[in-house]
């Protein structure tokens, strides 16, 4: 049997060319595919193309659930593709770390050669040599001519550099800067081809003078068959001392060999809107004397100029009097402006070239032998950035892509206030009452947070046209991605309760319009409020201040959202339903941010995330509900992204975190429920267990880890055995056995338990593995949460306290209605949705008011009452209610919100 699954480009149109290949992920219905080796990729004409496939996750029956797929570079990408399943006709597997890969064609191929000293990867078009250890990421990058097959080294000695500043110029104190270079300590080939090779490097920055080491890093290079560009993922962990260490520069540096005459060396630097600075190191245009039109046109086009004997002698005999421009710099110190300048040599003044708004973060240096280019994704969004070319008039230039510009103010990660005398839990709880900030001394520490950047390295055999460079710059800033359709994803049965966008009736269209409005509003707020910067890009704010006409960026727990009430889930379900590229990019940026910056990757809080705060790491609540894989696995499965896989792997043993940090230590009334000295830990059945369940489920699917499987299935059984099931609120967890004490008899309900991924995970688990007692416990929770106090008391002996976020919890009632086929519960779900949204149900909430100066710096849109919490939960409740009971009411008279 052959199945065809259509795959299209995320941005609608195919890229002008696919210089570096692409990778994506896609699911398969349970029981339909035995393994990734059964998959093939066809282009729009139905021809099989060179592809590589590998497993990402399996269903409990062992069949393939998610696969990663990769296709190589091509100058003519197909308008669309399809993935076929050919049972019994598997292609010969290729070596792959973690599973087999299949390839339809064998040419061109990526080859990997490993020795004790180095790893060499060849795409057929270029070759990269990576030493096993030392200060260089790669020693040489060679580009082969498609005509002569001669090779030219276009870049060498790639390396990481950083600058550490001690002290800030805040008074009479002096400051010093010290240089560091990244030292590679291990190199691992994660994939060997034939279509894609992935090489992971790990190391630390080491002082150029001295013995200090800091800033652990992970780098992955992605090389595809036939590629002339290489994807580079750089992840950094902050391990400095916030009070004394100030990062003054972070970059990736390359040496670029040059041989041609200065007038045949070319510099290209991208500005805004696809424009480029187009210059030669020694310019032949604009002179008082004309070398000849052929000379001028050749230089501007980046082509070899005619021999100097064919020039006008008025120029050729005076070449030594034309300045050569040795150094170039572009600085993007904010989201709103860049500056370009150049100079002839160190010790001489800089000359301004131009300025603009937002550079796409791409630069090239080339001569007649070839060239080297670098593009930094999200360059202006992640400011302050900088691009440097030094020594363009010498035999070996240096190009540096600064991920943190040395011309910006040094990075200051100190906590933003002195504690305000909050030395005890009682005082800290008082602070929570006024600024919503959960402060605790020593907990506003950034040590262990991370940041990931994506770069693309381009190798050229000649200076390309500016049109070609513009396409390359676009591909670096907005990488081409293939994706299945919402209809296919839904039919595969992944990610629980959702359905594709449906505008088939006026009532449904109105609800879809409201979902679109909320996304468009937040997308616009990111731009209007400038939610950009090295540590900030990807996050949104928590709550609005309508008096000041700003978000509460400076008020305790009301500032950065840090995944509070699951905006990550809202955005990913918006994407699953719609397939919209702008939704995907927004969700992608949030996933990159929240998974790196809002979570600790080393130290005592490793695997925990920080609750919302003025600074992303400022809150003392370090919890699994922020680091949960429930927020990250969408991106991992849809893109097969290895870095996100790292973040998921970090959390496998996250139940151990309860030994070192009680998440409710400040308010726990019963110390007997938390006894880490005996391995007995009080674990909440809402945000805590939901996060653990997401961790164990994801690990079990990805790796088959029996520890994760047994703890997931065991605790599910234990919850089902509790007298009051999920209503118990918390149970004693045996860390060694990975099981709950099922003898606890108590009722404790929190309005937060089900709004951090628990709803989505429980729905998936019930459809994934049979456990009648667990399902009944969850259905009881869903039935009773919004039931009348009388109904609650009749079933469990008392009414439930702590019932808030009615609109958000309407999807629990909807779930019970769908499972029990109950019209009464369906009616209650829609009524609760309509009544419970205090801030989002009135019509004015879906209109914008334009605020003008002098009340704001520049015009901005304002909604009457805005909270990310309300928005995310409104979106999730509406999406899931539509999927579960959208047709349960008579006709299409779905109650409007």
pLDDT tens readout for residues 692-705: 999 999 999 999 99
- Range list of H helices, 756-836: 758-768, 772-784, 789-796, 806-820, 823-836
Per cent of the chain over pLDDT 90 is: 88
First to last CA, the chain: 46
> Which residue, 873, 869, 861, 836, is CA-closest to 546?
861
Distance CA(143)–CA(228), nearest Å, equals 8
Q: What angle do CA 84, 86, 90 make, to 5 degrees?
A: 115
Token pair for 832:
């609760």
pTM score, two decimals? 0.95
Chain-centroid distance, C-alpha 179: 29
CA distances from 395 to 48, 278, 366 (A): 46, 21, 12
For residues 57 and 637, the answer to whether their CB atoms sit within 8 Å is: yes
Q: Is the backbone peptide bond immediately before 600 cis, with ω within 30 degrees of 0?
A: no
21-51 burial: b if 16+ Cβ within 10 Å, else e? bbbbbbbbbbeebbbbbbbbbbbeeeeebbb
pLDDT < 50 positions in the chain:
1, 88-106, 889-891, 894-897
Distance CA(532)–CA(45), nearest Å, equals 42
What number of H helices and E strands is found in the chain? 20, 38
Token pair for 866:
């805005």
Count CA atoms within 13 Å of residue 326 on its CB side. 14
Distance CA(432)–CA(436), nearest Å, equals 4
Token pair for 42:
């066809």
CA distances from 213 to 158, 164, 178, 182 (A): 19, 11, 12, 9
For residues 610 and 622, the answer to whether their CB atoms sit within 8 Å is: yes
For residues 296 and 285, the answer to whether their CB atoms sit within 8 Å is: yes
Helix (H, G, I), strand (E, B) or coil at 106: coil
> Which residue, 463, 452, 777, 431, is CA-closest to 632?
452
Other Cβ atoms less than 10 A from the Cβ of 165: the count is 21
The single-letter DSSP state of residue 611 is P
The single-letter DSSP state of residue 867 is B
Question: Residues near 197 by Cβ (< 8 Å), separated by ≥ 6?
Answer: 110, 112, 121, 189, 191, 222, 223, 224
Return the residue matching tokens 């949104």. 540
Other Cβ atoms less than 10 A from the Cβ of 404: the count is 23
Distance CA(370)–CA(363), nearest Å, equals 14
Give me the pLDDT at residue 242, please: 96
**What ranges make up the beta strands (E) of 72-224?**
80-86, 93-94, 101-102, 111-114, 118-122, 126-131, 138-144, 151-166, 176-192, 196-207, 213-224
> Which residue, 398, 417, 392, 399, is CA-closest to 362?
399
Query: Would the CA dihedral through 710, 712, 714, 715 be positive or negative?
Result: positive
pLDDT tens readout for residues 542-580: 999 999 999 999 999 999 999 999 999 999 999 999 999
Give me the pLDDT at residue 99, please: 43
Distance CA(387)–CA(251), nearest Å, equals 9
Token pair for 276:
């480029």
Which DSSP string do the residues of 625-692 spell out, in sequence order? HHH-TTTTHHHHHHH--HHHHHHHHHTTTGGGHHHH--TTTTT-S-GGG-BGGGTEEEEETTHHHHHH
Distance CA(26)–CA(807), nearest Å, equals 32
Token pair for 69:
């797929």
Distance CA(408)–CA(872), nearest Å, equals 35
Query: How many residues comprise the chain?
Result: 897
For residues 600 and 616, the answer to whether their CB atoms sit within 8 Å is: no
Angle between helices 706-721 and 772-784 (to 10 degrees): 60
Question: In what helix (H) or strand (E) does residue 233 lie, and over which residues does it extend?
Answer: strand 229-237
Q: Is 151 exposed, middle or buried (0-12, 13-18, 19+ CB in 10 A)?
A: middle
Distance CA(18)–CA(38), nearest Å, equals 25
Return the residue matching tokens 């699994």. 624
């Amino acid at each position: 049997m052959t199945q065809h699954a259509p795959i299209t480009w995320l941005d609608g149109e195919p890229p002008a060319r696919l210089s570096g290949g692409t990778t994506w992920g896609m699911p398969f219905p349970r029981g339909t595919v035995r393994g990734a080796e059964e998959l093939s990729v066809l282009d729009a004409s139905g021809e099989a193309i060179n592809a590589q496939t590998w497993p990402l996750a399996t269903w409990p029956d062992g069949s393939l659930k998610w696969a990663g797929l990769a296709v190589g570079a091509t100058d003519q990408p197909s308008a669309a593709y399809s993935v076929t399943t050919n049972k019994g006709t598997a292609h010969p597997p290729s070596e792959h770390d973690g599973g087999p890969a299949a390839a339809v064609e064998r040419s061109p191929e990526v080859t990997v050669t490993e020795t004790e000293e180095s790893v060499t990867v060849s795409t057929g078009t270029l070759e990269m040599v990576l030493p096993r250890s030392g200060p260089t990421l790669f020693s040489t990058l060679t580009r082969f001519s498609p005509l002569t097959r001669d090779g030219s080294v276009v870049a060498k000695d790639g390396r990481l550099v950083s600058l550490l500043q001690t002290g800030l110029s805040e008074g009479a104190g002096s400051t010093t800067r010290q240089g560091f270079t990244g030292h590679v300590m291990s190199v691992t080939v994660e994939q060997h081809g034939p279509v894609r090779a992935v090489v992971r490097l790990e190391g630390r920055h080491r002082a150029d003078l001295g013995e200090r080491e800091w800033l652990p890093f992970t780098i992955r290079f992605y090389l595809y068959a036939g590629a002339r560009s290489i994807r580079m993922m750089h992840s950094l962990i902050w391990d400095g001392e916030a009070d004394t260490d100030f990062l003054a520069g972070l970059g990736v540096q390359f040496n670029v060999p040059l041989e041609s005459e200065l007038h045949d060396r070319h510099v290209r630097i991208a500005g805004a809107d696809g424009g480029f600075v187009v210059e030669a190191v020694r310019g032949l245009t604009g002179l008082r004397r004309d070398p000849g039109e052929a000379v001028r046109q050749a230089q501007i086009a980046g082509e070899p100029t005619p021999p100097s004997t064919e020039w006008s002698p008025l120029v050729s005999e005076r070449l030594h009097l034309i300045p050569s421009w040795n150094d170039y710099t572009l600085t993007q110190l904010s989201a709103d402006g860049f500056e370009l300048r150049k100079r002839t040599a160190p010790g001489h003044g800089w000359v301004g070239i131009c300025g603009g708004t937002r550079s796409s973060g791409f630069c090239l240096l080339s001569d007649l032998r070839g060239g080297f280019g670098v593009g930094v994704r999200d360059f202006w969004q992640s400011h302050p950035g900088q691009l440097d070319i030094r020594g363009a008039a010498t035999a070996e230039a240096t190009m540096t892509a600064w991920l943190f510009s040395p011309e910006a103010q040094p990075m200051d990660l100190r906590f933003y206030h002195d504690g305000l005398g909050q030395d005890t839990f009682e005082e800290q709880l008082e602070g929570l009452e006024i600024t919503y900030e959960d402060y605790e001394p020593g907990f506003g520490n950034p040590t262990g947070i991370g940041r990931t950047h994506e770069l693309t390295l381009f190798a050229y055999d000649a200076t390309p046209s500016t049109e070609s460079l513009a396409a390359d710059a676009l591909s670096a800033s907005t990488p081409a991605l293939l994706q299945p359709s919402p209809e296919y994803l839904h039919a595969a049965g992944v990610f629980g309760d959702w359905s594709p966008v449906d505008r088939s009736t006026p009532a449904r269209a109105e609800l879809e319009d409201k979902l679109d409005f909320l996304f468009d509003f937040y997308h616009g707020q990111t731009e209007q409020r400038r939610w950009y910067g090295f540590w900030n890009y990807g996050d949104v704010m928590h709550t609005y201040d309508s008096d000041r006409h700003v978000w509460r960026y400076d008020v305790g727990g009301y500032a950065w959202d840090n995944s509070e009430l699951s905006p990550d889930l809202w955005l990913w379900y918006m994407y699953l339903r719609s397939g919209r590229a702008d939704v995907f990019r927004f969700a992608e940026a949030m996933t990159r941010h929240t998974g790196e910056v809002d979570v600790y990757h080393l130290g005592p809080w490793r695997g925990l995330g920080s609750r919302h705060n003025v600074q992303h790491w400022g809150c003392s609540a370090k919890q699994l509900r922020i680091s949960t894989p429930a927020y990250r696995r969408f991106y991992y499965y849809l893109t097969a992204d290895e870095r996100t896989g790292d973040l998921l792997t970090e959390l496998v043993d996250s139940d151990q975190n309860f030994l070192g940090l009680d998440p409710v230590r400040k308010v726990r009334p019963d110390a007997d429920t938390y006894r880490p000295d005996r391995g007995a830990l009080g674990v909440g059945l809402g945000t805590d267990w939901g996060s653990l369940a997401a961790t164990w489920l994801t690990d079990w699917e990805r790796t088959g880890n029996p520890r994760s499987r047994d703890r997931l299935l065991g605790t599910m059984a234990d919850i089902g055995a509790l007298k009051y099931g999920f209503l118990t609120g918390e149970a004693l967890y045996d860390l060694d056995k990975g099981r709950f004490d099922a003898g606890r008899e108590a009722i404790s309900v929190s309005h937060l338990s089900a709004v951090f991924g628990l709803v989505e995970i429980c729905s998936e688990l019930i459809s994934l593995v049979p456990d009648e007692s667990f399902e009944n416990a969850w259905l009881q929770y869903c039935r009773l949460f919004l039931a009348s106090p009388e109904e609650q008391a009749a079933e469990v002996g008392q009414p439930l306290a702590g019932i808030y976020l009615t609109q958000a919890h309407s999807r629990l009632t909807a779930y019970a209605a769908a499972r029990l086929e109950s019209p009464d519960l369906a009616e209650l779900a829609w009524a609760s949705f309509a009544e419970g949204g205090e801030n989002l149900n009135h019509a004015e909430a879906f209109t914008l008011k334009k605020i003008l100066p002098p009340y704001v710096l520049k015009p901005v849109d304002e909604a009457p009452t805005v909270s990310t919490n309300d928005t995310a939960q409104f979106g999730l409740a509406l999406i899931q209610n539509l999927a579960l009971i959208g047709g349960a009411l008579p006709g299409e008279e779905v109650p409007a919100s």
